[in-house]
Structures are given as structure tokens and as C-alpha cells.
Structure 1
Amino acid sequence: MKNWRFYTFVFFIGLIFLVVIFRLFTLQILKHSFYKTLAANQHQSFQTIYPSRGEIFMKDEHTNSDSPFLLFPVAINKDFWTVYAVPKEIENKEETVEKLSPLLGVEEETLKERIEKTDDPYEPLKNKVDEDTVNGIKEFNLEGIHFESENWRYFPASELACHVIGFVGFDGDKKVGRYGIEGYYQEELAGKPGFVEAKKDSLGQLISVGDRILAQPEEGVDLVLTIDPNVQFFVEGKLKETIERLEAPSGTIIVMEVKTGAIKAMASWPTFNPNKYNEVKNINLFLNPAIYEAYEPGSIFKPITMAAALDKEVIEPNTTYEDKGFTEVAGRIIKNALDRAEGIQTMTQVLEKSLNSGAIFAEQRMEKDDFKKYIQRFGFGQKTGIDLSGEEKGNVSNLDTKGDVEYATISFGQGIAVTSIQLIAAFSAIANDGILMKPYVVEKIIYKNGEEEITKPKEIRRVISSETASRLSAMMVSVVKNGYSKKAAVPGYLIAGKTGTAQIPDFEKGGYTEETIHTFGEFFPALNPQFSVLIKVDKPKGINFASESIAPLARQIAEYILNYYEIPPTQ
């Protein structure tokens, strides 16, 4: 009996010993890495090192300094202050509110609500406060009011080129670029974060010595735009004047280098202040109408029809037809504007007088597949690939119907939707010896190590022959010299241009409304084109045709650019 008890005791002692051995094996061998990491985490902290966001500049090509150009900052990083309260530290709340309200520009009631939260140790009152305001508040020596420095995106030119630049907003608690350049180049501007390993003391506080950088942050790149601030400022001012004069709700102007595709100005109205983007009630205001908004172009599309017919050699500039004021197509009567009947007319006169019947005549001399091919080769129905976020491709689906009526109306810009960037790229292709270029707005990327990456102009394709481009350019010069676009003429220079007055479709009832869109496209000097301009004004009042409403504006812009870039007269 005694032996039994002894052996039982030895068995349990051995079992306990085995359990202990197994537990030690598990902790020290099997889970060694886990507990090592757990212990390390009590004394280590891995901190993210955020890179500086790259900045954005325009290139001022006309400066009084010795340098060939001056960089004009449009999006930079700037230190601001967050003003916050610790409510339980504030004894005289009424005095605090009374002194803070006018300085912060915050309603007294709002401030009262915030500083009454006595159980809140941190109550933000306003962020992005400038240093002068902070210094003014500090002079009052208010108890419970504190300040915290933070780096924010700042746009020193405010609304200038706002649709091109975009802004920096939030995705959760992360700052990210939205719209325009800020959105398109988000990854390049933001850079890549790094990581640092820091030590903690026994209380969990970071120790400043002994930090070890595990991954260096990669700073964001700087961008230099093709846009000239002087041209942009002039164009924006003229657009605003025109919008107010015509009581129009919106409009767009683009200036492009025809041989490169570089955008020198891109302005739209209404604008917004990217420093105060959170105050904008309608987020559609952030969309860039120049690349996003598709519309029926109207008669400004007629040079595209003529380009196709000339290139297919089914017409010549002096080819004639009889204009009866209307054309019957598949049992439908399609009329000229104001029901005009001009009699025998040449193709050049069709553009000069903007005759719908003449555009139909040219279209009907081509095979439908050929007409469709040229429209697509000019880039309509496709994105141009401009380096801005939010571009749309328009709508050319009516080309797929093969319908006689649809093709007839497309010949003069109805039943097809295009964007302003597509139109100016197409006009620039005519000016550029028939070669379509890719539009772009970033001229140079500057890396933090000093290396630079220059954007090379990109040729998309040859659309029409050199001879066709030359003939069509001459026809468009005649439009400005002899046609309805005379008010766009600039003394001493040959200007090629075409107006468009397009009815706006009624998508609810069908057909068209009485409201219109006025456009004007031009390039100059016509014999050696350097710049193209596209003007669009939505729903103008008091003037029925673009030849009266915006042709004079086209002249003003051409005069400014010719003078600014010191282009000598050609006549």
C-alpha cells in the first residue's frame, strides 16, 4: 500500500515536471518570436515619416529679371495654426468669446457652444489660422486658449486657374489631391512615406536618442506648368467681363500652342477658391468644364466636315452648289439659320456665311464610313489624354446609326457632343499642317535631387494631308476677312477662325430649346500658326449669334497674345 502511494506521488511529480518542461519549450522555442516582438513593442515604436508634398508653379516667361523666366507659385506648403480651447481652464467664457469672435471670424454662438464642453480636453475652434491672427489672440493672454502648428496646402493665387490646379482635401484623415493637377499627379506630388524605429522608456514615453530610420521618405516632386500666369490672368479677366456683359451663367477659354499641344491658358467661369474648397456648396463647381463638359458644337464643327471632304478630294474650296435655304434629307427639311437662301455658293462661302446646306452638301459627297473615320481621327469621341483628372470623351454614337439625317446634322455640329479641349486640339491639328498633338499642362517635373524630366510634345497622328490643311486654313482666313467673323480680325495679321451658335437640346421634350451656346475657334498667324484659341459662352442673353457676342473677344485675346509673345505682323 505504501509503495502504491509512493508511485502515485512520483507520477504526479513527473507529470507536473513534464508540463513545466513543455510550457518552457513552447514559450522559449515555439513562440520565441512572438514574445520577443511583444517585449520589443513595449520598448519600441515605429513612427511614419511623412514626406513634404511637392509644389506647383507656373512659368512667367516675361520678367524683368536676368533669368529667361520666373517660377510663379500656385500651390505651396505653408504653416498655419489651429486655435483650440481647453474649456475647463476658461473662467471668463463671455470675455473669451467676445474677444475671439472677430479675430477668428466665427459666430459668438458657435464659440459659446464649443467652450461650454467642460469635459472636453481639446476643442478646436478654427484651423488654418494665419500667424498675424494668432499673434493678435496671444496679446489678450486668454486662459484656456492654445495654439498648434500644422502644415497645410496653400494656393497663393487663390482662384487663378483653380479648375486646372484642383485642391488638397481629405480621404479619412489622409490629405490627398482632388481634381485637376493635384488629383492627376497625386502619387508624384505626395511622395512616399518613410519609417523610423524609436525607443520607449518604462513609462511608454518616446526617447529622442537612438532612433533608427528603417526607410527614408521619398519627397514629392515639384511641377512646372505650361500655363503662363500673365496669359491666364488676362484670359480670366476677359472671360469674366464677357460673362457679365452677356449675363451668361458660365464659359470657358483655352489657349494652346499648335505645334506642341502645350496649354498656355485654361479658364472657366464660375471659379472657386481652393483655399476654401470646403465652403463650396455644389461640388460640380470643382469639375473642369474645358475637359469635362460635352455639348453640341454647332457651326464651329463645319471646318471638320470641310477637312474630311477636301482630304477625300470630293470638293475643292471653289466647288459650287445651289443654296436654296434648305436641304431635304430622307423626307426631312433641314434649314439654314434664319432661313437664308444664298443661291450659287462656293465651299469657302459656306464657311464664310455658315450655311448648313453647304455642310450637308460636302458631307453627302463622301461615304459615311469616310466621314466617320475623319471625325474619329480628329479625336472626337475619345479622350485627348491631357494630364488633368476628370476628362470626358464626348458622344459620337449617332455616327453608328448610319442614318442620312443623323450624318447630315452632324455635318454642321448637331447630334454630336464634344468637349472644348477636343475642339481646340482639332483646330490646332488644322493649323499644325494636319497633325494632331496631345494637349498637356505639365512642362517639367523637378525631383528633389535636382534632376528634371521635361515633357516631350507627343504627336498623335496625321489627320489630314499638308495640302488639305493649307487649303482649309486659307478658307478659314477668308471667314475672318470676308465672312461673319470680321470682328475677330486683327490689323496686320492673318487670323483663321470660325464661329458656332449651337442650340441646346431639350432632353425632356425632345428637339431644341431657345437657349444657345456660342463658340469661336481661331489660330494665328495663319501662314505660320503658333497659337490657337477656343472661346465658349453658355446661354448668353441679348445677342443671338457668336459673330456678335464673342468674335470681338477673340480679337482682344489674339491682340494680347501677338503682342505678349512679340510676334511680328504678317501683312
Structure 2
Amino acid sequence: VRHTFYTVLAKDQQEVLQTLIPRRGEIFIKAGGGNVWQPLAVNRIFQTVFLVPKEVTDKNTVAEKLAPLAGISLEKIIEKLNDPQDPYEPLKSKLDDEIAQKIKDMNLSGVHFTPENWRWYPQGSLASNVLGFMGVKNNQRVGQYGLEQYYQDILAGKSGLLDSQKDALGNWLLMGDYNLEPAQDGLSIYLTLDQNIQYVVEQKMKAVMEKWRAASGCAIIMDPKTGAILAMASLPDFDPNEYQRTKSEDYFMNSCTQKLYEPGSVFKPVIMAAGLDIGKIFPETAYTDTGLVRIGNWTIQNSQQKTYGLSTMTQVLEKSINTGVVFVQRLIGGEIFKKYIEAFGFGSSTGIDLASETSGNLKNIEENKDINFANAAFGQGILVTPLQMASAIAAIANDGKLMQPYVVEKIVAPDGQEQITQPKVIRQVIAPQNAGQLTAMLVSTVRNGYDKVKLPGYFVAGKTGTAQIAEGHGYSDNDTNHSFEGYAPAYNPQFLIFLKLEKPQGISFASESLAPVFTDIARYLFNYYEISPEE
């Protein structure tokens, strides 16, 4: 079909081809409140230039004139022109109108054009790791990564069929009887992402990555009551219009859903949730911290080798005391702890509608060793994705209900029929009253633990994590991952924010690197959603 498309000149055959080739569905992003949408991925007609070598009389002249405009070497163009019997040689696709017109104005013999439909991303790199791109695989154009891959069949539509005789050149004979079944155009998808929030989040994360020279960054904004993703940024990003120029395939990966890390102290609310839910602890339950815990031949210490003495469970979160969460873990036991970890969604995919989500790795706690359970209590020795972490904390915000995250709000057929995504409850992980107690503890953590979170008038629940990075058989002495998770307004949450930096340089703790970014984004969202102060 593609060969015929380029070589036939008869108008009726081109019209038939347009009937046979489906139009790919488009992708839209929310643009503020109401039913307003902006395009993220659309179809656009570009000019494709091709050569007919047998029509070219002066190869060198044609090559010299085409090379600078097509961006192809003189030698390569001459090579394409070497076979005088060759009826067709593609030269360059996706020419913009200005370049195509310059080539047309030269009126070169043997140089022809044909219009061709290509994917176009009018907002460049915005949400690129969520989108993915249209690439070429096995000589076919298909969606790769992100939404373009996950929804490939829905977006692509279905090709039509033509049953007709052909002449000696392979052209269809349409004068006689033939059977034509038109193509079915693809469906379009409309996202839960908000264009304004997405832009702000990407800019804030790019700035903090540059400031602390981080290797990568990730940010997720979620509605904890529904699981709808309002923004998702994975950095570094790329321009899907120029994906071939991207430095590394790693840039195509969405680190929010596809890259694993040991979460560190942002995981501590999970063990607290388990302890509260089975009645082993209460916010005011106290224990005495001596600065370390010995388990067999292993010794677990607090960050910076600090000792806090008599401390409540709320203070354990406020001061991020490692021995405190180990105390809770040993109260509830390994098997129950493991049950709650899995109930919060760790170790399995969240089910988000994005390609190639990673499910995590809980191999360490499956060994049922006391030291592994103890380490997991403060987020070490287990591997999770940022989205799993965000979804788990969103469950605490949502009265203990774990929601399935999603990025597509509705799918719209060419005839206007809509399929609207309904929020889905995965399970009730902890009782609502226990989720409420934990929220109060996390509000206290923000107010008493993080002086860089300045949001007067609002109750904000949150927790940071500064996690060591595994290296060889131990952990790096220099590199860490920083995370900050929080939701607000804490007792009627409208949004959850999750932020992560990989290997920031020159700063020691997430409470210093990410707390200001969290504050800026939260303040923006309070204003954007017109959420009035509570105090």
C-alpha cells in the first residue's frame, strides 16, 4: 500500500488510499476548568520528497541543490540516484512547508512531492514521558512508550480493504467491479492531566534539578479521592517531534512508573498505618530511643547517629526516627507487616494506563528475615516506583481506600460517543478512623519537622525521605535519593504531591532540597483551585 501511495499519480487511486488508511486518534490535555481541551498529539500533513532517478539528467546538480535543504549529504543523494531504472527513491519525510516550497521553486527534474500524514506534538516536550511518540517498528508506524503505545490499537483504528484487480505496474483497476471497505478511524483520548499544572510542575522540577545537579527528577500530582493524575513529570524529558535526536533511550522511560528505587523514610507512614490499624500503637504510644537497635549481628541506627530518648509515635514521624519504626515493626511482626505492604499496592503494578509499568521488588521481605523486615520499616531493602509510593500515601489521604491511578478521563469515537473512565477502588487498606489518626500525625510532622514548608492557614500532611542508594554489596557513601510526599487540605484533600530527585549534589536532606518546591507547588494549587485557608 505504501509503495503504491508514493508511485501512483492517478487521482482516483490516491482517493482510494485515503479511504483505506485510517486517521489516528488524537490526544488532548485539559486546559483549566470546564470542558476546555488543548491538543497534545495530532495528525498533520507534511510534504515527503522522493526521487525518480530515471528522470534525473544531471545527478550532481540535483544532489548539490537538494543536500543543504534536505539535510542529507551530497554522497547519499548521489547514491540514491545511481540506478537509472529505479522508479522511486524516498529522500526526506516530514518536510515543513517552507523547505518544501524552496525545493519546488527550483523545479528540479526527477524530484517529486506527495503529502503524507504524520504525528505532530504541538506542545513539544510537555508531558512527553506520559505521551510517548509515534515511531517505526518493523517498517510500520506504531506508538512507542507511554500513551501512544498503551492505546495503540484504540488510537490506530482499522485499515480498510480493497478487493480489485491490478495492472502490470501494480496499480488498482477501478474501472470494473471492485469491493471497497472503508477504514475505521481511531478514537481520540482526553487526559486527566491539567496543562497548567503540568507546565508549572515541569518548570519547578527542572529548576530544582539544575540547582542541585540531580541526575533525574520525578513529580506526580494526583487527586487522592479518584486516582486521577493531574500532572506527571519525568526528567530529563524529550521532544517527541524529534525523538531520533534524543541522547539516550533512557529519556523515553517514565521514571514515575518504570524506574525502581529504595524509598527511605517516605515509607515510614506505611508501617505506622499497619500498627494503628491492628491496634498495636496509638499516636501517643511512647518508647525510649537509645539511638540504635541490634538484630542478630546487625545494628540499625538513626540518621546522623542521633538519640532522641522518650518519644511518641507522632514524634517518630516528626523526627524520622529509624529505631521508632523498627519498634513498631517488631510489635506487629513480619507476616502482618508484609500483608500491609502488599495491601498498599507494593510489589504489584498499580494498573495505570501507561505502557510497561514496573511492579517493584519485595524479594528481601519474602525471605522472612527479621533484619529485612526491620530495614523495610524505614524504606530500605525494598524497591518501589514513585507512583506506587504516591498511590499508597493517597490511600491514607482517602480514608484508607486505595484507588487505581489513571491518566485518561475519556475516550471519544469519531461519531462523538464517549467512554468515560470511572474511578476504581482497589481495596480498603486501613480503617477510616486509623487513616484519620495517621493524617493528624503527618500534619504534626509537617508543622513540627519541616520549617521550610511555609503554608500558613492550611493543614498539610506530609513526609520526606532521604534514602541511601545501593552500591555493590552496600550503600553509597555519597549519593542519595530525595523524596517528598504530602496532601492538602489534610482533612479534605484535593491533591497529593509526590516529588523525587535522584542523586542531588551539595545538599544532604530532602527537607532542604524539596520542601521549598513542595511549598511552591502546593501554594500554586491552593490558588488554582481557589481553596480558602482553614485557619
- Confirm or deny that 1:52 pairs with 2:52: no
Structure-2 separation of matches of 1:176 and 1:301: 38
Contact 1:494/1:526 (<8 A) preserved: yes
Structure 1 match to 2:318: 352
Secondary structure of the structure 1 residue equivalent to 2:395: helix
Q: Distance in 1 between matches of 2:141 and 2:447?
A: 53
Q: Give the whole-Å Cα distance in 2 for the aligned partners of 1:70 and 1:103.
A: 39
| Distance in 1 of aligned mates of 2:458 and 2:446 | 11
The 3 A distance-change label for structure 1 pair 382 and 201 is: closer
Distance 1:511 1:202, change over 3 A: closer
Per-residue deviation at 1:89?
3.7
1:505 to 2:442 alignment: no
Q: How does 1:116-515 map to 2 (within 5 A)?
A: 116=82, 118=84, 120-199=86-165, 205-209=171-175, 212-213=178-179, 215-483=181-449, 485-506=450-471, 508-515=472-479
Distance 1:211 1:427 in 2: 64
Output the CA distance in 2 between the equivalents of 1:161 and 1:493: 29
Residues 150 and 205 of structure 1, relative CA distance in 2, 3 Å threshold: closer
Equivalent residues of 2:468, 2:475 under 8 A apart: no
**Amino acid in structure 2 at the alignment position of 1:499:** T
Name which of 47, 56, 61 aligns with 2:32: 61
SS at match of 2:500: strand
CA distance in 2, matches of 1:202, 1:332: 80
Cα distance in 2 between the residues matched to 1:236 and 1:208: 53
| Aligned-residue offset at 1:88 | 4.6
Among 548, 551, 555, the residue aligned to 2:515: 551
Q: CA deviation at 1:69?
A: 2.7
User: Which digits, 9 at most, give the CA deviation of each residue in 1:39-74, with x for residues without a partner?
Assistant: xxxxxx999922211111112124xxxxx2322111
Contact 2:488–2:494 (Cα < 8 Å) also in 1: yes
CA deviation profile, 1:217-252 (whole Å, cap 9, x unmatched)? 222111001101111111111111111111111110
1:170 Cα deviation from its structure 2 partner = 2.3
For 2:301 and 2:172, the matched residues in 1 are separated by 80
- SS of the counterpart of 1:57? strand
CA separation of 1:104/1:205 partners in 2, compared to 1, >3 Å: closer, same or farther?
A: closer
Residue pair 1:47, 1:195 contacting (<8 A) in 2 also: no
Matched residue count: 520
Cα pair 1:299 1:412 within 8 Å, conserved: yes
2-side partners of 1:427 and 1:415: how far apart? 19
The answer to whether the 8 Å contact 2:209/2:217 transfers is: yes
1:529 to 484, 487, 493: 493
Displacement, 1:305?
A: 0.8
2:409 & 2:81 partners in 1: Cα distance?
49
Structure label with greater radius of gyration: 1
Deviation at 1:403, TM superposition (A): 1.2
Partner residue in 1 for 2:3: none
Contact 1:46 1:196 in 2 (8 A): no
Q: After TM superposition, give the deviation of residue 186 of structure 1 in Å.
A: 1.0
Q: When the two structures are superposed, what TM-score results if normalisation uses the length of structure 1?
A: 0.87
How far, CA to CA, are the matches of 1:283 and 1:200 in structure 2?
A: 43
CA–CA distance in structure 2, aligned partners of residues 147 and 47 of structure 1:
17
RMSD over equivalenced CA pairs, Å: 2.1
Q: Distance between the aligned counterparts of 1:471 and 1:458, measured in 2?
A: 24
Worse-superposed segment, 330-339 or 274-283: 274-283
Secondary structure of residue in 2 paired with 1:208: coil
- Aligned partners of 2:113, 2:375: CA distance in 1, in Å? 64
1:476–1:498 contact (8 Å) kept in structure 2: yes
Deviation at 1:216, TM superposition (A): 3.8
SS at match of 1:255: strand
In structure 2, distance between residues paired with 1:403 and 1:349: 27
CA distance in structure 2 between the partners assigned to 1:97 and 1:325 by the alignment = 75
Shift of 1:194: 2.2
After superposition, the Cα gap between the structure-2 partners of 1:490 and 1:86, relative to the gap in structure 1 and judged at 3 Å, is same
Is 1:542 the counterpart of 2:506? The answer is yes
Distance 1:242 1:223 in 2: 32
| Unmatched segments (≥5 aa) in structure 2 | 1-15
Change in CA separation of 1:342 and 1:47 when aligned onto 2, cut-off 3 Å:
closer
How far apart are residue 173 of structure 1 and its match?
A: 2.6
**For residues 258 and 317 of structure 1, what CA distance do their matches in structure 2 show?**
23
- d(CA) in 1 for partners of 2:282, 2:363: 29
State the TM-score, normalized to the length of structure 2. Answer: 0.93
Letter of the 2:487 partner, please give it: F
Taking the aligned partners of 2:459 and 2:367, their CA distance within structure 1 comes to 40
The question of whether the paired residues in 1 share the 8 Å contact of 2:235 and 2:251 is answered with: no
Checking the alignment, whether the CA contact within 8 Å between 1:48 and 1:196 is kept in structure 2 is no
Shift of 1:100: 2.8
Q: Which moved more, 1:274-283 or 1:554-563?
A: 274-283
Does the residue aligned with 1:226 lie in a helix, a strand or coil?
A: strand
Cα shift readout 1:411-464 (whole Å, capped 9, x = no counterpart):
000011110110110111000011000000110010112110100000011011
- Kept after mapping to 2: 8 A contact 1:288/1:390: no
